[in-house]
Amino acid sequence: MCLIYIAHRVDPHYRLVVAANRDEYHARPAAPAAWWDDGPGILAGRDLEAGGTWMGMSRSGRFAALTNYRDPARHDPCARSRGFLVSGFLRGDTGAMAFLAGVAKEGERYNGFSLLVHDGGTLAFYSNRGGEPEVVAPGVHGLSNHLLDTPWPKVEEGKLELLGLLSRGAATPGALLGLLDRREPVDDGQLPDTGVGRERERVLSPRFIHGEHYGTRCSTVIIADAGGEVLFRERSFDSHGEADGDQVHSFRLRDE
């Protein structure tokens, strides 16, 4: 993923609410969200080049999502695929903080990443570009290609919109997909400097990135209510930025 909004213990009606965009090269093959044959109880998309995933959830309530940390000067083309961190958490039963403690010990094997994991109770965060694993406080949080809640415009504005939807009881799948589909770049004075140049920063600044070769490939919404019912909806997009089909999965969390 390249943009994640997550609401954790904000509203008593919801266990977890997630709205996220995955940005990637259009030529990189991927499978849409589905139940994995080789990972019983795991619902996620799949990177068909490396084999991992960017985000997923399990029937037991485990959730994980990862963004790349934008750091071009330190990119290692031989590094291990970061997508295995997400699938590794979803396949296991280790608690969120214990899992991230293990990841932190081998963080140098990967290019820059920021990882959110939820074990059904605790939401935790770790980046190999910023500090130790930490428990995430209840609230609405945002993550793009940096650290959790870095105040980039698309992070801050989206967090406020999600909080507003929740406060009005309007956090529907359609509204959350609309929140993700903002395509206007921010003003140049608000652009971050992540080492890719001003023109590239401008292209990457919207919530939804539209580009011929690189852009938003899918938008995903997860709504897990207090009763354990989950709606997982993924909308795919083609290289023109046009919607190219939805995957919708509804299931009930299974007590472990």
Q: What is the pLDDT of residues 18-34, one digit of tens each?
A: 999 999 999 999 999 99
Q: How confident is the model at residue 17 (pLDDT cuts 50, 70, 90)?
A: very high
pLDDT digits (tens, 9 = 90+) for 174-196: 999 999 999 999 999 999 999 99
Task: Give the confidence band of 240 by pLDDT, cuts at 50, 70, 90.
Answer: very high
DSSP string, the chain: --EEEEEESSSTTEEEEEEEEEEEETTS-EEEEEE-TTSTTEEEEEETTTS--SEEEETTS-EEEEEE---GGG--TTSPPTHHHHHHHHH----HHHHHHHHHHTGGGSSSEEEEEE-SS-EEEEETTSSS-EEPPSEEEEESSSSTT---HHHHHHHHHHHHHHHTT---HHHHHHHH---PPPPGGG----SS-HHHHHHH-SSS---SSEEEEEEEEEEEETTSEEEEEEEEE-TTS-EEEEEEEEEEPPP-
Q: What is the mean pLDDT of the chain?
A: 96
pLDDT in tens, 81-94: 999 999 999 999 99
Going from N- to C-terminal start, the domains of the chain cover 3-252
Tokens encoding 46: 């799949």
Give the mean model confidence (pLDDT) for residues 48-65. Answer: 97
Tell the burial category of 33 from Cβ atoms under 10 Å away from its Cβ (0-12, 13-18, 19+): buried
Predicted confidence band at 255 (pLDDT cuts at 50, 70, 90)?
low
The average pLDDT across 37-43 equals 95
Average pLDDT over residues 53-61: 97
3-252, CATH topology level: Penicillin V Acylase; Chain A (3.60.60)
Q: What is this structure's pTM?
A: 0.97
pLDDT for the residue numbered 76: 95
Give the per-residue pLDDT at 1: 82
